[in-house]
Structure 1
Amino acid sequence: MHATLDDLPREILLLIIAYALSFGSVPSNILCVNHQFHNAGVEWLYRNLYFRSPEQLRLFAQMGENAGVVLRSVTVDLTGKFTRSDVWQHLREALCRCRDRAERLGQGQKQIPLEVLCLRLHSYSRDTSHHVFEEALSVANPRVFRWTGPDPDHHFSTAIVAPIASRLCRIFGTWSNVQDITVTNITFSVDSDNSVMPLLPEIPGLRTLYLGQATFLSAGSVAAVFCVNRMASLERVRLVDTYCESIWGSRIRRSDIEKAVQIIMFPQDVVQYEGVLSRIRKILTCEKKTERIIGGDRVEGSVFLV
């Protein structure tokens, strides 16, 4: 007797279908195999929304259905796509549509609880889109948030402009579920007046923070996260290829953060100062990942910057 795909346990079948839907050149083909594949595939599609173009996002916002399943993750991957600032309007409408469906099913919440919210796209600095950006992300309440640039890892580029970066950090404070934040290809404001303002608001449940390819990141704002905001759940902070100015300047090192802590706290509270330093040395690492061919802050040997 020969085993067929229909004989596979549902858990394994879902893994196969998920892979085909995520990486197949024509993802919908697998839905045509039989009724079992179609039903399982449709359930997975609507549980894990994946948008690869602004048009997909727009169409879902206008007419998408949820097939009666609970939304688990949302990914917007616009790698290689030309996009406009109205992508935030479409994302807001899509998430609001999902939230409204949940309300009709008696699961009404102001925010949609998600396992993962993943973005791979450029932001835009046009003033009229800023409030729409905030409204779009405020509809969600993810446990894991990732926003990376759409360019290859070795290509140092800015995907998140400074006006959006400041708003993004504020939005983090509205997410009660968030535990893991990864943000790369970001530039912060050059405004030195905010150098000792915490980079993030108080986020009680945050466990890990990864910042990569960041420019104009203030060491003082990172230090203030430890000095002002306690965030007892925080277990790991990684600053990878982060610069206090442009990429032609110096990478941020852990010693820069420690000096900033001294400026903020010492000598007013020596005991607390020592405790903050100890915690920083335990959970924060500054690292180099992408090396320039010529110029810039070149690091030889260890990837850790102390």
Structure 2
Amino acid sequence: MSSSSNNYSWKNFDCAYQFYPSQHQQSENLALLLIHPIGVGLSGVFWQRFISAWQQQEQSYSIYNPDLLGCGKSEMPHLAYFPEDWAAQLKYFLETVVKQPVVLVVQGALFPVALELVNDPMQPNYIKGLVLSGPPAWKIMTEAGKPLQQKILWNLLFDSPVGNLFYRYARRRKFLQSFSTRQLFAEAEAVDPNWLDFLQAGAKNLDSRYAVFSFLASFWRKDYTKKIQSISQPTLVVFGNEASSISREGLAETPQQRLDLYLNNLPSGQGKIIPGRNVLPYESTKEFVAVVKDFVRQLSILI
């Protein structure tokens, strides 16, 4: 798996990414830009299993795998992070580093980051398609959060000594295994040592808690209905057949109902349900690669 680790500066912050070049000598017309989830220990490392499987099957497309600010090998400033912040980082990354058409491949609740990026009126026409891996339940994506409650959670709980202690507890291997089994994976045995090892390694730096707590404070919660309905690019939505929701608002939706709600609101959407639950690129890698590969090949013919 040929790759290079690189850095760039955005707003005086040091940001990291990995680049996996196409194995074909001719220049391809599309690349993949991966957007990793936010969570204890999560970063671009989340995509390593997907990238390995992808390169075994498909060598015509380069892959860009950035660490979002506050995660992985990128700088971790003491900030409350909003989707607009990460979207601005990725916009700069597209314009100054990638500089070619891409398909955004987005995991889970980072869909709002992709929405802010795609709906930016100043965004150059680099984004040719989107793949949404297990996006949040429709009700979660279309009901705004409560700013006062978010601010209270951040100031009194997360950005406090209590939050520091909680993060130390949450990064313990036993907690990570229990949470992953209860909320993320369809099968308990799929929560393997590799998964737990990279979560623990990623959470070793306590400054990684600010990105995680920004997510837990729900700074990403808005009514995104209009922005979703404004996506003009072809969009593939992929759910696991055992997809669940961490939030109570999404518990009533079956995977098929959730998929139908998205497809009814995406101007150019298509959908797939594959085996798995909520972290499909990791737990159902073979099936996820197959549906993404078909989608990207379709796009490359159209552009």
TM-score by length of 2: 0.31
Identify, as 1 or 2, the structure richer in helix. 2
The structure whose RCO (Cα within 8 Å, separation 6+) is larger is 2
